[in-house]
Amino acid sequence: MTVPQPPEPIPGARLLFSLDPSVSHLNHGSFGAVPIAVQRAQQRLRDEMEANPLRFFTQGLVDRIAHARRHLAAFLGADPDGTALVGNVTAGAAVVLQSLALRPGDEVLTTDHGYGAVALSIARECARTGAVPRTLSVPLTATDEEVVEIVRTGLRPGRTRLLIVDQLTSPTARLFPTAALVAVAREQGVPVLVDAAHAPGMLPATVASIGADFWVGNLHKWAYAPRGTAALVVAPQWREKIQPLVVSWEQDSGFPTRVEWQATLDYTGWLAAPVGLFTLRSLGVDRVRAHNAALAAYGQRVVGDALGVAPERLPKPGGPAVAMRLVPLPPGVATTLDAARELRARIADRLSAEVSVAGWNGRGYLRLCGQVYNTPDEYDRLAVRLPTLLAQR
């Protein structure tokens, strides 16, 4: 089998970013990269704020945030009146968890593909309320139908108070059949929170088409917004129950303003986020999605070949638009959190490549992303040098 051909580069895309050219930035999925135009827009807003802080915070800021929110919600295919801007997906998940009024014996159900910080939030809320966290094991090779059936049989109506599923999993780069999972849970009367950390900008599915009770996605990854920009979308029947993590002066305004307003936060990232969408649209949303997914597939294959992983053993992402791919590492490598962190740091220091390394179910994985600023030779260089580095462990 031949290696898939990399996509044609998008002319000028690399110049839109201020990334260090001596480093291969192959891990866009962790912290994103903010285009220069967005950086400058946010800096102008910060200059405005610092020129007259009192005026900035007290004259029209709530309306400006609402305007930005409406713009972002339209891009996501979400109801702006049911959308609140939050700092990130973990913060949005915490808002939902603490708003449910969990009680002893209630259950929060997740899969073993969930994000670690969300799992910690679940554990803390369950410890505080007496609720019980439970995790379903989903094989990496499970089909969509098998994923749905695992969740269907794992639900406990009357006891399961919340199902949390990932639209695109972080540790395993797997696209889940989210809309089907929401439908299954609805049949059994179980509300669903969708962790869509990687969806905005990468995946074409709209929030409305998924139909979850709660959906939270980061715009600072694949939608080019400043970091600290995420959207929490809440179905109508839940909005009055949603409470902020910290009460502030807009508490009586109801959702979403009571969640968004936290007094002296730096809101300039939210206000500049529409410039990120403008950048994405200027490049062509579909064009960017196709380019990034094809480049990630190329990187997975060349690095997998270098590590001796047969093409049929490379994990499949579950959809054509996924711009993150996994490469299994040799057995015994990076199987724990500490070992994964150590290997990631060694790859960064010795190979000048930023990647994600995670241990999942006793196996270490390298996660590679594709973005418009990447080029095929960056994956080629990693493929040539990585086997030697791993042999030195």
Instruction: Convert the pLDDT of each residue in 76-86 to its tens digit.
Output: 999 999 999 99
Extended strands (E) in the chain: 24-25, 83-86, 107-111, 132-136, 160-166, 192-195, 214-218, 230-234, 324-328, 353-354, 356-360, 363-369
Residue type, 114: G
**Shared-domain flag, residues 162 and 274:** yes
Do 366 and 227 lie in one domain? The reply is: no
Location of structure tokens 């889940």: 176
* Shared-domain flag, residues 54 and 185: yes
Q: Does residue 124 have a pLDDT over 70?
A: yes
Is the pLDDT at 1 greater than 70, yes or no? no
Q: pLDDT, tens digit, for every residue of 328-346?
A: 999 999 999 999 999 999 9
Q: Domain containing 117: what range?
A: 38-278
What are the CA-CA distances from residue 218 to residues 18, 22, 24, 72, 296 (Å)? 21, 27, 23, 11, 20
pLDDT bracket for residue 263 (50, 70, 90): confident
237 and 186 in one domain? Answer: yes
9-22 mean pLDDT: 96
- Any domain includes 7: no
Same domain for 209 and 346? no
Specify the pairing of strand 230-234 against strand 214-218.
Answer: antiparallel
Our count of domains for the chain comes to: 2
Same domain, 145 and 294: no
Mean pLDDT value across residues 58-73: 97
Mean pLDDT confidence for 339-359: 97
Q: Which of 217, 249, 278 is the last residue of a domain?
A: 278
Nearest alpha carbon to residue 373 among 5, 3, 23: 23
pLDDT (tens digit per residue) in 277-305: 999 999 999 999 999 999 999 999 999 99
Residue 1 lies in a domain: no
Which of 260, 278, 296 terminates a domain? The answer is: 278
pLDDT in tens, 316-330: 999 999 999 999 999
Q: Give the bridge partners for 192, in sequence order.
A: 163
Residue 162 shares a structural domain with residue 256: yes
Give the residue-averaged pLDDT of 30-47. 98
Q: Is residue 2, in this structure, part of any structural domain at all? A: no
pLDDT confidence bin for 48, thresholds 50/70/90:
very high
Strand 192-195 relative to strand 214-218: parallel, antiparallel, unpaired?
parallel
User: Is residue 2 pLDDT above 90, yes or no?
Assistant: no
Average pLDDT score over residue span 246-265: 94
Residue 3 in any domain: the answer is: no
| Contact assessment for residue 382 and residue 24, using Cβ atoms and an 8 Å cutoff | yes
Local confidence band at 393 (pLDDT 50, 70, 90 cut-offs): low
pLDDT (0 to 100) of residue 4: 78
pLDDT at 207 exceeding the cut of 70: yes
**Calpha distance 174→130 (Å, rounded):** 31
Are residues 306 and 225 part of one domain?
no
386 pLDDT band (50/70/90 cuts)?
very high
Strands 230-234 and 192-195: unpaired
91 and 106 part of one domain = yes
Is pTM beyond 0.85? Reply is: yes
Average of per-residue pLDDT values in the chain: 97
Regarding whether 316 and 222 lie in a shared domain, the answer is no
